[in-house]
Amino acid sequence: MVKLRAGLAFLCATAAVVVALGAGTLLREYRTGIAPGVSEPIPTAADEANSAGTVLGPAGALASPSPQPWAPADTPAVLGRIPAAGVIEFQDGSRWRYSGATGSLDALPIRPSSVPADGLDFAMNAGGDVAYVDGAHHLRLVTGAVERGLLPEAAIASVHWSADGRLLGLAVRSRPGASAGMGWGWWAADEFVILDPGSGASEIVYRAPDRTYLDVKSSPAVTRSFTETFAFATWSPDRRFVALWRVPEVSGSIDADGRQLLILDRLKKSAPIDLGTTLMWQDWLVWRAPHTLAYVFGASRFITEQKRVRLWSVEQGIRDVSASTESAIAPVWSSDGRLLFSYAPVGPYDPKPYFMGVGVGYRRLAVVDPISLARTELPAAPGFFQQAVFPSPRGDSRLELRQPLVDQTLPANGVPPRCELWYVTGDAAQPLVRLRSPCYAFYSHASLAGTVWNR
């Protein structure tokens, strides 16, 4: 499975609003949507008919069910008990589990007990095997009750299981001159290595290039060299492709405006395929088996500026799905192979009209056939803009992240209302959870990436 990472978070300077980006990966217990030791079957039709849960109303008739809070919170809050919604696990700073049957919301552990306190990075596959980087940047593998070291001579920055849990992708620091123990350890890596823990076989699939610069602080000025680094992005489901972001120089500010996304073909071992500049958000990279990638193309940290949803596959190359006049974000695949995403008109970010749902704040949801590129729209949500969508595996319902609109411009340094998670089926919709922060503020965004749903 894909790697668990806390994700980037940005503090809104005027309001200390934190919007935690969705973690792109899940621990084994999250695969089922049921926490370990808990038995909660999917409610039957009879259960739902006899439930005392909230009755669903028309989709367009509901507004925010309580006064819009104007300050972020430490934890999300339950808005409704909806048995038909089942069990939903989602990311909102931490990992949370909502039960429609009980209307409860519980925090879930995200760090396996086998990872020590000084562990720098970790990942768990669907079989429960835990790979982690210890405090000395050594790779450790825990399988059941057995723990062993792998590649003892390598300095590891981060670990990333393939989707099937058979291979490990490793960001490795192989060259002297820079420490892999810097604050953002994965920045220091210069090689991406794929390891088969079973056989011990490994291969280098990417080596960051060397660069030079003129050191004008020396007298006389002298040309010096340094090695680029990279950031892991994602594996394809069939393990043929690995995506990395190229990081020519270490800069959090430059990172915030996007980096070059590269695709590495393990089969052909050809030169990296350049998909252009994208924001370094794993939650906007989604695969359809065996290896069709939907991603958001476009630089700039501001969500209102041009972002285009694109498809890439080795067979068909790059295809645009959204229009150049749109800011299209948050792609997700449905179980029937269609692509859904959120979109709004392109324009400069201005919080005054944005949170009133006007202009660049008029954000809706679209559905696209990846073959014909025929496009349809999902129903609008009066009183809200729609930040993201997550279709149920059964295809009969969906989750939406909705931002309550304000009826007047925000005051100076005002904080917009908090984002809400809604359950939508047919022509009915119901709020489930109010998140800790707004769906979007400045250049931070909420996400449904990493959601697991037993529907």
Domains, the chain, with CATH or none? 28-453 (2.130.10)
Beta partners for 230?
246
Residue type at 398 in one-letter notation:
R
> 433 is written with which tokens?
């959870």
Alpha-carbon gap, residue 437 to 73, rounded angstroms:
7
Distance of alpha carbon 260 from alpha carbon 320, whole angstroms: 17
CB-CB contact of 192 with 244 (8 Å): yes
Upstream peptide bond of 220 is cis (omega within 30 degrees of 0) = yes
- Residue 338 CA to chain centroid, in angstroms? 19
User: What pLDDT score does 295 carry?
Assistant: 98
- Asked if residue 388 lies in contact with residue 330, where contact means CB atoms within 8 angstroms, the answer is yes
Count of beta carbons in the 10 Å neighbourhood of residue 439: 28
- Residues found in the chain: 455
Beta bridge partners of 132: 122, 140
Report how far residue 61's alpha carbon sits from residue 143's, in angstroms, rounded to the nearest whole number.
52
Which residues have C-beta within 8 Å of that of residue 162, sequence separation ≥ 6?
A: 1, 168, 169, 235, 239
- Distance, in Å, from the CA atom of 44 to the CA atom of 54, rounded to the nearest integer, reads 16
State the Rg of the chain over Cα: 22
The pLDDT tens digits along the chain (455 residues) read 333 333 333 323 333 333 333 333 322 222 222 232 233 333 333 433 333 333 333 333 334 444 444 567 889 999 999 999 999 999 998 999 999 999 999 999 989 999 999 999 999 999 999 999 999 999 999 999 999 999 999 999 999 999 999 999 999 998 755 443 343 444 479 999 999 999 999 999 999 998 877 888 888 888 888 788 999 999 999 999 999 999 998 888 899 999 999 999 999 999 999 999 999 999 999 999 999 999 999 999 988 899 999 999 999 999 999 999 999 999 999 999 999 999 999 999 888 888 999 999 999 999 999 999 999 999 999 999 999 999 999 999 999 999 999 988 777 677 788 999 999 998 899 999 999 988 886 667 889 999 999 98
- Is the pTM higher than 0.75? The answer reads yes
Strand ranges across the sheet with 339-345: 326-333, 339-345, 364-368, 375-377
- Give the separation between CA 107 and CA 44, rounded to whole angstroms: 26
